[in-house]
C-alpha cells in the first residue's frame, strides 16, 4: 500500500471518527440497545443462577451483534444521500480500500463502545467476573467480523428499497459462526477452561473476512 | 501530453436508463483552455453525461472517454484524480465546520484549505458548522473544492445554482484562471455562466 492510499484511508477514518464524536447518538443508541437487550433476558427466564450461566454467553453475543447492526444501513446510505459518496468514489482511493476504511470506522465507533459496555451487560446476566475478559475479547472479534460483513451488506443493499430490512436478513446468517465460537469461548472461560481455541477460530474468521469483504463491498459500490 | 491533444476526448458515448435511450453516439472533444456548455431540457441527460465522464456508476453506458489521451476504463482511480466533479449535491457534512469539510478533501487530493475558501469568499465562515450555512453558502463550499490541488478537467453540474452576483463573479475568476492554466471545463447549466468563448452542446 503506497503512502497516498494509506493517507486517504486515514483521512476517511478521521472523518468517521469526527462525525461520530459530533453525533454521538448513533453510538449511544447501539450501546443502550445492547445493555437493554441484555437486561431483558433475566426478566424473561427468572433469576435462577444456573439458567443464567447457560444463557449469558449466547445472549451477550446475540445482543451485541444486533446492536452493531443498527447504524449499518446509514454507513453508505448517509453518504449517498448528500452526494458525498460520489466524491468518495472519486477520491482516487481503490474502492476496496474505501470500504475497508468504512468497516474499520464502523468497528471503532460501534464495536469498541460495545466492548467497553460488555462488563455492564455481563453483570446483568450474572456472568462470572473471571469470564469478563474473554467475553470482551470474544465480542471484539465478533463485532469486527460483523463490521466487515455488514459493510459488504450495506454496499449491496445501497439504493435498494427497504434496504434497512434486507441488510440484517443478509448479514445475520453469515454471522452465525461468530455467535457459535464467541459463545463457546465465553462458556469455556466461565467453566474455567481455556477459551483460546474458540478465540483463535473467531480470529481466523476475521482474518479471512478482512481482505475479502472490503473487496466485495468495493465491487458492489462500483456497480451501484 | 502531445501538443494539440485535447484534454477530454469523448467517443460514441451512450447512456441507457431502463429501456429509454438518454443519449447515444455522442462524440466531442474539449481542448486545453476550452470550455463546453451542456444545455438541454430537464432529463436530456446532462447530469448523466457528466457522471459517465467522471467514471461514476451509471445504469448502462457505452463508448469511450479519454482524459489527456488515457482511457478512463483502464485506471479508474487515476482517472478520478485527474478531474474534479461538482455534482448538483453539495456533499457537505452538517456536523463538520466549513474548514473541516474542505480539509477532508484537501487530505485526499492535496492543496491548501484557506486559499480555496478565500477564493469563494468563505474565509470568515471557516469555523462555522456546515448546518448553519445558507443554500448559496453551501454551494460555494462545494465549489471551493475546485480551489484545491489543480487538475486538468472540471465537470460542473449547475455550478451557479443559488449563488448571488458577487459569488458568480468569483466563480468566473476561478474558471478563467483554470482555463488560463491550460485546464478544461465541461459545465451543465440552465443559467448564464461567466464562461467567455465557451462552445455549446445541446443535448
pLDDT of B49 reads 92
pLDDT of A159 reads 81
Describe the strand order of the beta sheet including B83-86 as a list of residue ranges.
B83-86, B153-157, B184-188, B35-39, B199-202
Contact criterion met (CB < 8 Å) for B93 and A8: no
Is the separation of the CB atoms in A157 and A73 below 8 Å? yes
Please list, in sequence order, all residues whose beta carbon lies within 8 angstroms of the beta carbon of residue A19, skipping any fewer than 6 positions away.
B93, B95, B96
Q: Measuring CA to CA, which residue among A121, A182, A193 is closest to residue A146?
A: A182
State residue B70 phi and psi, 5-degree precision: -100, 130
Q: Measuring CA to CA, which residue among B187, B166, B189 is closest to residue B178?
A: B187
Interface of B with A (CB under 8 A): 51, 54-57, 77-78, 80-81, 83, 85, 87-93, 95-96, 100, 104-105, 107-109, 145
Query: Can you tell me which residue has the cell 453551501?
Result: B138
Contact criterion met (CB < 8 Å) for B108 and A8: yes
DSSP designation for B97: B
Mean pLDDT of all residues in B32-37: 94
> pLDDT exceeding 90 applies to what percent of chain A?
83
Q: In a 10 Å sphere around its CB, with 0-12 CB exposed, 13-18 middle and 19+ buried, how is residue B82 labelled?
A: middle
3-state secondary structure A108-120: HHHHHHHHHHHHH
pLDDT of A52 reads 83
pLDDT at B39 over 50: yes
State residue A83 phi and psi, 5-degree precision: 90, 0
Task: Retrieve residue B96's grid coordinates.
Answer: 463538520
Mean pLDDT of all residues in A172-178: 94
Mean pLDDT of all residues in A160-168: 84
Residue B63: Cβ within 10 Å count: 16
Instruction: Note whether A119 contacts B: Cβ–Cβ < 8 A.
Output: no
**Residues B130-183: tens digit of each pLDDT:** 999 999 999 999 999 999 999 999 999 999 999 999 999 999 999 999 999 999
pLDDT at A180 over 60: yes
Mean pLDDT of all residues in A106-129: 95
- Rounded CA separation B164/A150 (Å): 43
Instruction: Tell me the pLDDT of chain B averaged across its residues.
Output: 91
Instruction: Tell me the pLDDT of chain A averaged across its residues.
Output: 93
Show residues of chain A in contact with B56, CB under 8 Å: 86, 89-90
Domain boundaries, chain B: 88-141
Mean pLDDT of all residues in A181-188: 96
Of the listed ranges A42-46, A185-189, B44-48, B99-103, the least confidently predicted one is A42-46
Show residues of chain B in contact with A155, CB under 8 Å: none
Show residues of chain B in contact with A90, CB under 8 Å: 54-56, 80, 83, 85
pLDDT at A128 over 70: yes
| SS3 (DSSP) at B17 | strand
| Confidence class for position A86, pLDDT limits 50, 70, 90 | very high
- Cα B96 from chain centre: 23
pLDDT of B1 reads 45
Q: Measuring CA to CA, which residue among A119, A135, A121 is closest to residue A189?
A: A135
Work out whether strand B184-188 and strand B35-39 pair parallel, antiparallel, or are unpaired: parallel
The sign of the dihedral angle between the CA atoms of A123, A126, A131, A136 is negative
| SS3 (DSSP) at B7 | coil
| Cα distance from N-terminal residue to C-terminal residue, chain B | 30
pLDDT of B3 reads 53
Contact criterion met (CB < 8 Å) for B104 and A15: yes
Is the separation of the CB atoms in B143 and B159 below 8 Å? yes
Contact criterion met (CB < 8 Å) for A86 and B83: no
Task: Retrieve residue B137's grid coordinates.
Answer: 453558502
pLDDT of A224 reads 58
Tell me which residue in B54, B80, B96 faces A91 most closely, judged by beta carbons: B80
Amino acid at each position: 500500500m503506497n503512502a497516498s492510499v494509506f493517507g486517504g484511508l486515514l483521512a476517511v477514518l478521521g472523518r468517521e471518527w469526527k462525525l461520530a464524536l459530533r453525533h454521538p447518538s448513533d453510538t449511544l443508541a447501539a450501546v443502550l440497545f445492547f445493555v437493554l437487550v441484555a437486561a431483558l433476558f433475566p426478566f424473561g427466564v427468572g433469576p435462577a443462577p444456573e439458567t443464567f450461566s447457560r444463557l449469558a454467553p449466547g445472549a451477550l453475543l446475540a445482543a451485541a451483534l444486533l446492536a452493531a447492526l443498527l447504524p449499518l444501513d446509514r454507513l453508505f446510505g448517509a453518504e449517498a444521500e448528500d452526494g458525498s459518496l460520489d466524491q468518495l468514489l472519486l477520491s482516487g482511493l481503490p474502492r476496496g480500500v474505501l470500504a475497508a476504511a468504512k468497516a474499520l470506522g464502523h468497528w471503532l465507533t460501534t464495536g469498541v463502545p460495545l466492548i467497553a459496555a460488555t462488563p455492564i451487560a455481563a453483570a446483568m446476566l450474572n456472568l462470572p467476573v473471571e469470564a469478563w475478559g474473554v467475553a470482551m475479547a470474544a465480542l471484539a472479534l465478533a463485532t469486527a467480523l460483523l463490521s466487515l460483513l455488514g459493510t459488504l451488506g450495506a454496499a449491496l443493499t445501497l439504493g435498494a428499497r427497504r434496504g434497512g430490512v434486507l441488510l440484517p436478513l443478509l448479514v445475520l446468517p453469515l454471522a452465525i459462526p461468530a455467535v457459535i465460537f464467541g459463545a463457546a469461548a465465553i462458556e469455556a472461560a466461565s467453566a474455567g477452561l481455556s477459551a483460546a481455541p474458540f478465540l483463535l477460530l473467531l480470529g481466523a474468521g476475521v482474518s479471512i473476512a478482512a481482505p475479502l469483504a472490503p473487496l466485495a463491498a468495493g465491487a458492489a459500490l462500483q456497480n451501484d | 501530453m502531445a501538443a494539440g491533444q485535447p484534454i477530454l476526448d469523448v467517443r460514441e458515448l451512450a447512456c441507457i436508463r431502463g429501456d429509454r435511450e438518454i443519449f447515444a453516439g455522442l462524440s466531442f472533444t474539449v481542448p486545453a483552455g476550452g470550455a463546453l456548455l451542456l444545455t438541454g431540457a430537464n432529463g436530456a441527460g446532462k447530469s448523466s453525461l457528466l457522471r459517465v465522464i467522471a467514471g461514476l456508476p451509471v445504469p448502462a453506458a457505452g463508448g469511450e472517454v479519454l482524459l489527456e489521451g488515457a482511457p478512463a476504463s483502464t485506471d479508474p482511480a487515476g482517472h478520478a484524480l485527474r478531474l474534479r466533479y461538482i455534482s448538483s449535491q453539495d456533499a457537505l457534512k452538517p456536523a463538520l465546520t466549513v474548514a473541516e469539510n474542505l480539509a477532508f478533501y484537501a487530505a485526499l487530493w492535496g492543496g491548501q484549505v484557506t486559499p480555496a475558501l478565500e477564493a469563494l469568499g468563505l474565509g470568515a465562515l471557516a469555523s462555522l458548522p456546515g448546518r448553519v450555512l445558507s443554500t448559496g453558502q453551501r454551494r460555494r463550499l462545494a465549489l471551493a473544492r475546485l480551489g484545491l490541488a489543480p487538475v486538468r478537467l472540471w465537470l460542473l453540474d449547475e455550478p451557479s445554482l443559488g449563488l448571488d452576483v458577487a459569488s458568480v463573479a468569483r466563480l468566473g475568476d476561478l474558471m478563467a484562471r483554470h482555463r488560463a492554466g491550460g485546464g478544461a471545463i465541461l459545465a451543465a447549466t440552465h443559467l448564464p455562466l461567466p464562461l467567455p468563448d465557451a462552445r455549446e452542446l445541446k443535448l
